[in-house]
Structure 1
Amino acid sequence: MTGGYSDATIWFVILVLGVGTYLIRWSFLGALGGKAMPGWVLRLLRYTPVAVLPALVAPLVVWPAATEGQTDPARLAAAIATLSVGVLTKNVVLSILAGAGTLFGLIYIAG
């Protein structure tokens, strides 16, 4: 028994979530995968990664768990460096290196 829940309950929740996740993915890939989509849908889908990645990264920059939710100047500077290098060079590897170098450098300097 884990955390007040029986093993059967935990496995039931895992299985239901697995089936739900499969059905959500199938609804796009299985049901719509063989059909041609309108041009406007394809244009909008091109922006999905551009919208999702900042949504995943922003909370880690503004409320980082490493500082117990306090905004950290090193992480903000690293995000700005990453964004700046990415916009200027259009190079993902350079952007990652700039952000990582800025973050580790400022954390090292701050002690």
Structure 2
Amino acid sequence: MNSGISDLTVWLVIVVLGIGTFLIRWSFLGALGDRDMPAWVLRMLRYTPVAVLPALVAPLVVWPAATGGQLDPARMAAAAVTVAVGLWTKNMIGAIVAGALTLFAMLYML
């Protein structure tokens, strides 16, 4: 199947995107890595994982590919148990294990 795009164009796009991605990362690590950041920046950076992780996981729970994008009681229960255990114990590993065990148990039962 010929898409009309030459191999040179594909490789050029890959190289340019790679250089762009490197420069974006370097701008934070290379240029600012040895400098002290203001307290307000450090305070806001603490919330980055808390914002990114749910954004990555939520689509997998609400619209899972395994069910064709339909709500799945097993995944919803596992997500609820994970959140509940995390809030109750403040232990991330314990919450993940509890959620995984709930998911496997629910998939087995259903």
In the superposition, the TM-score normalised over structure 1's length comes to 0.91
Root mean square deviation, CA, Å: 1.4
Correspondence for 1:21 = 21
CA distance in 2, matches of 1:2, 1:80: 47
Correspondence for 1:102 = 102
Q: Which runs of 5+ in 1 are unaligned?
A: none
CA deviations 1:47-68 (Å, max 9, x no partner) are 1101110111011111111111
Show the 5 A alignment for 1:56-67. 56-67=56-67
Corresponding residue SS for 2:35: coil
Determine if the alignment matches structure 1 residue 32 to structure 2 residue 32.
yes
* 89-98 vs 49-58, which moves further: 89-98
Q: Matched residue pairs, number?
A: 110
In the superposition, the TM-score normalised over structure 2's length comes to 0.92
Correspondence for 1:87 = 87
CA distance in 2, matches of 1:86, 1:92: 6
1:4 and 1:73, CA in 2 relative to 1: closer, same or farther beyond 3 A?
A: farther
Q: Which amino acid aligns with 1:38?
A: P
CA distance in 1, matches of 2:64, 2:76: 10
1:9 and 1:43, CA in 2 relative to 1: closer, same or farther beyond 3 A?
A: same
1:37 and 1:76, CA in 2 relative to 1: closer, same or farther beyond 3 A?
A: same
Deviation at 1:2, TM superposition (A): 6.5
Deviation at 1:69, TM superposition (A): 0.9
